[in-house]
Amino acid sequence: MRRLLVTGAAGFIGSNFVQYWLEAHRDDHVVALDVLTYAGNLSSLDPVLKNSKLKFVKMDILEGERVRALMEREQIDTIVHFAAESHVDRSIHGPDPFLETNIRGTHELLKAAKTVWLTGGGSGPYQFHHISTDEVFGTLAADAPAFTEETSYAPNSPYAATKAASDHLVRAYHHTYGLPVTTSNCSNNYGPYQFPEKLIPLAIVRALEGKPIPVYGDGLQSRDWLYVRDHCRGIDRILEKGRVGETYNLGGGAERKNIDVIKMLCSKFNAMFQSDAGLRSRFPRCPAADGGDTASLITFVRDRPGHDRRYAVDAMKATLETGYGPAESFETGLGKTIVWYIANEPWWRSVMDGSYKEWMKQHYSG
Ligand code: NAD
Ligand code: TYD
């Protein structure tokens, strides 16, 4: 039986992970920590908030002393560290919070774990699992092989640079102090509860509202897409089978160009609206509501500065060592995601509050 501390638990992947874990490991205790930035929403934990094995704590990982006391009080033996500033575009506009949370926050957490676990007199076993990204490896040429765990770090955005720095700190705490750590570097996630500033939920929400769907540059950049539940299973496999001190790449084996992602999404909308009168009356502004083509909303906009052209992940190490493998194809995962957003309109409306509207106004003209 584990006693987990999950940081960033009210964010996109964190909330999916907490829900997954409580289902898959019914005897475990989970302390869900989150400071609730614009990206953190307690409503994302609604389905499990009444579960007696879960405790939610509003706390900033930058407050290391409070985190240390919490770990002692709750006898935490496992940390799964998601908390971060995570949006590349925001890191370009204002990098400072990224340095604070992603670098200094991770360091506060490492210090707390070191104090409690290595000098606290408990017996363990302990595990600090750090959630990172494939973006630390930089960009790939069109014909280059996918990132492996041996690929050199070459982060290009302020976000990626801060995640790279946090990975190095995690590694150093293992190498220098013997802190039992594992790290996973994952590709782009999508699925329920993703904040509608990232490509897929942004496109879904804007299609439902009949607003332009912004595609950066020529739209030929590609990403490797992983359904969030498969990411959660992958983290579980690493907690179970991963070797201490190792890093594991996790990917979906679903590399797609951005424009193809959006076109697939639009054609799914067209088909769903054609066969469902209820959808047509709930979302009358979507072009498909009166027989039009949702793809008519696609609008090419100015490219992101320093935009990485291509990410692709080789997850063979995780597969061989831990049995990792995604269950969803991109087609099935995208379908489930669209269905979830249609069924959970109150969730996305509630998170698109004043600060979201302000960001959208500044960032996208029109
Ligand atoms: P998110 O932005 O949806 O959620 C981040 C959460 O962290 C929010 O709930 C926020 O309130 C919380 N948080 C931020 N600063 C905090 C602080 N100082 N103290 C406590 N909580 C704080 O992000 P996400 O997409 O769920 O990503 C989670 C992790 O996974 C991040 O570390 C990210 O780098 C990594 N990752 C994400 C993806 C992806 O595609 N989304 C891919 C690979 C890796
Ligand atoms: P995003 O979801 O922000 O993830 P990341 O930058 O971490 O990969 O973006 C995914 C891809 O989609 C990326 O190449 C940028 C592109 N993109 C758009 O074309 N339009 C948009 O409005 C957004 C948010 C992203």
pLDDT band at 355 (very low <50, low <70, confident <90, very high): confident
Pocket of ligand 1 from Cβ distances under 6 Å: 7-8, 10-14, 34-37, 39-40, 60-62, 82-84, 86, 101, 105, 131, 133, 163, 186, 188-189, 195
Average pLDDT for the chain = 97
Helix runs in 212-257, H state only: 228-241
Measuring from atom 19 of ligand 1, which residue has the nearest CA? 60
Q: Which of 256, 230, 259 is nearest to 319 (CA)?
A: 230
Mean pLDDT, residues 336-344 taken together: 98
Q: Can you tell me the distance from the alpha carbon of 86 to that of 78, in angstroms, rounded to the nearest whole number? A: 22
Nearest 5°: phi and psi at 114? -60, -45
Q: Which domains does the chain have, with CATH numbers?
A: 3-188+226-254+311-328 (3.40.50.720)
| Closest CA relative to residue 341, chosen from 219, 196, 187 | 196
pLDDT, average across residues 115-120: 96
Banded pLDDT at 292 (limits 50, 70, 90): very high
H-only helix segments in 135-245: 158-177, 199-209, 228-241
Number of residues written out for the chain: 366
pLDDT, average across residues 262-285: 98
Q: Which atom number of ligand 1 is nearest to the Cα of residue 226? A: 40
For 283, the token pair is 């979302």
- Helix, strand, or coil here: 226? strand
- Kindly tell me if the per-residue pLDDT of 366 is higher than 50: no
Q: What pLDDT, on the 0 to 100 scale, is given for residue 314? A: 98
Query: Over the stretch 154-179, which tens digit does the pLDDT of each residue have?
Result: 999 999 999 999 999 999 999 999 99
Whether residue 95 has a cis bond before it, omega within 30° of 0: no
- Ligand in nearest proximity to the CA of 194: 1
What is the number of the ligand closest to the CA of 223?
2
Ligand 1 centroid from CA 37, angstroms: 10
Residue from 209, 297, 308, 295 nearest 260 by CA: 295
Q: What is the pLDDT of residues 201-235, one digit of tens each?
A: 999 999 999 999 999 999 999 999 999 999 999 99
pLDDT tens string 177-188: 999 999 999 999
What pLDDT, on the 0 to 100 scale, is given for residue 358? 81
pLDDT attached to residue 365 = 61
Which of the 8 DSSP states describes residue 57?
A: E
Letter string b/e over residues 267-290, b meaning 16 or more CB atoms within 10 A of that residue's CB: ebbbebbeeeeebbeebeebbbbe
Flag whether pLDDT at 89 surpasses 70.
yes
d(CA 264, CA 270): 10
Q: CA–CA separation, 265 vs 125, rounded Å?
A: 45
Query: How large a percentage of the chain has pLDDT more than 90?
Result: 95
Q: How far is the CA of 86 from the centre of ligand 2 (A)?
A: 12
Instruction: Residue 13: name the closest of 74, 83, 100 by CA.
Output: 83
Spatial separation of the C-alpha atoms in residues 190 and 225, rounded to whole Å? 7
CA distance 141 to 319: 25
Atom of ligand 1 nearest to the CA of 16: 26
pLDDT one-digit tens code per residue, 26-58? 999 999 999 999 999 999 999 999 999 999 999
221 or 364, which is more confident?
Answer: 221
Give residue 86 CA to ligand 1 midpoint distance, Å: 5
Does ligand 2 come within 6 angstroms of the Cβ of 88?
yes
| Top mutation candidate among 98, 139, 186, 216 for ligand 2, by most atoms within 8 Å of CB | 216
Q: Which of 24, 19, 9 is nearest to 239 (CA)?
A: 24
From the alpha carbon of 88, which atom of ligand 2 is closest? 6
* Number of the ligand closest to the Cα of 214: 2
Contact, 311 vs 199, CB < 8 A? no
Predicted local distance difference test score (pLDDT) of residue 331: 97
Tally Cβ neighbours within 10 Å of residue 107: 19
pTM beyond cutoff 0.85: yes
pLDDT for residue 207? 98
Which atom of ligand 2 lies closest to the CA of 311? 8
Mean pLDDT over residues 105-127, rounded?
Answer: 96
- How confident is the model over 129-143, as pLDDT tens digits? 999 999 999 999 999
Instruction: Please report, rounded to a whole number, the percentage of residues in the chain having pLDDT higher than 70.
Output: 99
Indicate the pLDDT class of residue 363, thresholds 50, 70 and 90.
Answer: confident
The pLDDT value recorded for residue 362 is 80
